[in-house]
């Protein structure tokens, strides 16, 4: 899943007793402690190779031991690796890298960046759906194509709602919600969405419907946005999509691609990006179906030692020119969620197989290389940033049941603020689509504090407005008939007052990040819905 600049995402999952594997004969669960250390070593081999050979470029080229820019020329791999350092327990390196990035990172550069990959801006269209690419210095280029993939439109609510909560500026969340709603309104009569749409006209350009590339994180963010924001409408939207997906695309626990208006099969393939789906199913409690689909995908991994980008389901083999495996995390991600929910040792076996395969096939002197072809294990000269952000992180968390990320609410940090006490780090973290965790408690705290702050500000405005109005009345009463004073002190009707309140947020000047942020020693966290409005 693509990169998100604003750190963090997570999920809803019932935490059941875990089965702790131990070394033993073939068929028994792998030893978590052994593989946890193996995964940590994998991370530092890749991380140190990037720092020594590629920084400040976006990504490492592991075969030539140098670097290159890919998504925007802002040291992408280093940003993506940040919270993995915390999850591995390396707080000092996390602090060092934060200082390096603060001193050197600059987004005001003349670079065309993917809006989806960087999650920044470009929503000024007639439909409210964003362009696919934006220049970070100049905005949308005049000749920019208006055709954007569905995921590129619907994958903003987690980060943008977080940004609105932390800054007090609602415009970010509003833009993301409009984009979500426009996609919802554009679905077909049978309840499906296509793959690419024209953001100027709202017309579907690619009408293939499925759960994979070009669509995937739209569905993911409906679920995660619903959990993060306690938003029933977003969950209802996903559940309606889920019905249509099961009715038209599901066959024997595989998910095919179909024509969005007719439901007829257009591509009987499994894409590696679809492997996130069992994990998403686990978040809505559909464990049985999630495990069935996961086991289908796991058979493909066993066949090749990785997931090819495309797999022809009827033929049981790779698709021409789609035989590669760029070390994607999605199947490992699903294994982590399902293991937390079930404790099934089969899920640890996938983790073991992933470690063994990646180390055997992909490890080179300067990191880990993309597998160009799973049939002969030829390598490509690229290590994408998601390898450190997601693949290694999910592997480590799969084998580390006591990691703070898996906190079930038994421990937390209490932070005293000018507005009262806030609870942070109690669990329930939401992973964004690049596996960066967001603490929903922090959002709940900041949003609540902002609302209380706004209420106080409203009362103060009313009070001073009333004083100014009375003062003006006293000044004019001796010089003739009284007339309502103009300007800020004007007494208004309830209707006018309501309209004034609706415009209020645009005029507020609230300091950025005025909600107390966690110290580095405070923990992130994830997995599980723990904070409700009544808490």
Please report which helix (H) or strand (E) contains residue 426, including its range.
none
Check residues 118 and 292 and name the one with the higher pLDDT: 292
Report the C-alpha gap between 523 and 423 in whole angstroms: 12
pTM of the model: 0.80
Percentage of the chain modeled with pLDDT above 70: 76
Report the C-alpha gap between 475 and 489 in whole angstroms: 14
Question: What does the mean pLDDT of the chain come to?
Answer: 81
CB crowding 384-420: b at 16 or more within 10 Å, else e: bbbbbbbbbbbbbbbbbbebbbbbeeeebbebeeebe
Tokens 């899920």, residue located: 347
| 433 assigned to a ligand binding site | yes
Query: pLDDT grade, residue 466 (50/70/90)?
Result: low
Task: Note whether 221 and 158 are within 8 A (CB).
Answer: yes
Please give the average per-residue pLDDT across 365-374, as a whole number.
98
Query: pLDDT grade, residue 18 (50/70/90)?
Result: very low
Please give the average per-residue pLDDT across 63-92, as a whole number.
94
Please give the average per-residue pLDDT across 283-298, as a whole number.
97
Q: Give the residue from 505, 45, 527, 447 showing the smallest Cα distance to 229.
A: 447
Query: Which residues are tagged catalytic?
Result: 117, 216, 309, 330
Percent helix, percent strand, percent coil in the chain, to nearest 5: 45, 15, 40
Please give the average per-residue pLDDT across 173-191, as a whole number.
96
pLDDT tens digits, one per residue of 102-140: 888 777 777 666 655 555 338 678 899 988 887 777 788
Torsion (CA) 223, 344, 299, 362 in degrees, nearest 10: 80
pLDDT at 82: 95
3-state secondary structure 245-282: HHHHCEECCEECEEECCCCCEEECEEEHHHHHHHHHHH
- Tell me the CB-side half-sphere exposure of residue 31, using CA atoms within 13 A: 8
């Amino acid at each position: 899943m693509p990169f998100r600049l604003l750190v963090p995402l997570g999920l809803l999952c019932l935490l059941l007793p875990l089965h702790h594997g131990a070394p033993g004969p073939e068929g028994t669960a792998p030893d978590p402690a052994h593989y946890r250390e193996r995964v940590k070593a994998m991370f530092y081999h890749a991380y140190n190779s990037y720092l020594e050979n590629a920084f400040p470029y976006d990504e490492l080229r592991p075969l030539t031991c140098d670097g290159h820019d890919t998504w925007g020329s802002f040291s992408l791999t280093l940003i993506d690796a940040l919270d993995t350092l915390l999850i591995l327990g390396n707080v000092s390196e996390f602090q060092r890298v934060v200082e390096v990035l603060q001193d050197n990172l600059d987004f005001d550069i003349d670079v065309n960046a993917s809006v989806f990959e960087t999650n920044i801006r470009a929503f000024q269209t007639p439909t409210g759906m964003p362009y696919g690419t934006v220049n970070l210095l100049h905005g949308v280029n005049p000749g920019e194509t208006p055709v954007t993939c569905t995921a590129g439109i619907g994958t903003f609510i987690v980060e943008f709602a977080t940004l609105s909560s932390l800054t007090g500026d609602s415009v970010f969340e509003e833009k993301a919600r409009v984009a979500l709603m426009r996609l919802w309104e554009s679905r077909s009569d049978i309840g499906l969405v296509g793959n690419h749409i024209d953001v100027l006209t709202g017309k579907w350009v690619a009408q293939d419907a499925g759960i994979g590339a070009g669509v995937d994180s739209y569905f993911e963010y409906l679920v995660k946005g619903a959990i993060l924001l306690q938003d029933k409408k977003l969950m209802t939207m996903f559940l309606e999509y889920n019905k249509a997906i099961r009715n038209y695309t599901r066959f024997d626990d595989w998910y095919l691609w179909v024509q969005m208006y007719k439901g007829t099969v257009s591509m009987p393939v499994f894409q590696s990006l679809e492997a996130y789906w069992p994990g998403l199913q686990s978040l809505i409690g559909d464990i049985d179906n999630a495990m069935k689909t996961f086991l289908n995908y796991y058979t493909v991994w066993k066949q090749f030692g990785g997931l090819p980008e495309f797999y022809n389901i009827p033929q049981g083999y790779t698709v021409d020119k789609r035989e590669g495996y760029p070390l994607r995390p999605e199947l490992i991600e699903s294994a982590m969620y399902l293991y937390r929910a079930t404790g099934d040792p089969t899920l640890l076996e996938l983790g073991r197989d992933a470690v063994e395969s990646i180390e055997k096939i992909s490890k080179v002197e300067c990191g880990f290389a993309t597998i160009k072809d799973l049939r002969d294990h030829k390598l490509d000269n690229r290590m994408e940033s998601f390898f450190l952000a997601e693949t290694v992180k999910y592997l480590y968390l799969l084998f580390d049941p006591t990691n703070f990320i898996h906190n079930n609410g038994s421990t937390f940090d209490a932070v005293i603020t000018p507005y009262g006490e806030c609870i942070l780090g109690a669990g329930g973290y939401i992973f964004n689509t690049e596996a960066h965790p967001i603490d929903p408690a922090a959002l709940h705290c900041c949003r609540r504090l902002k609302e209380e702050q706004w209420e106080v500000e409203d009362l103060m405005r009313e009070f001073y407005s009333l004083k100014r109005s009375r003062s003006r009345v006293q000044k004019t009463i001796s010089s003739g008939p009284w007339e309502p004073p103009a300007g800020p002190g004007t007494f208004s009707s309830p209707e006018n007052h309501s309209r004034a309140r609706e415009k209020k947020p645009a005029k507020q000047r609230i300091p950025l990040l005025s909600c107390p942020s966690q110290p580095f020693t405070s923990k992130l966290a994830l997995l599980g819905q723990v904070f409700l409005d009544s808490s």
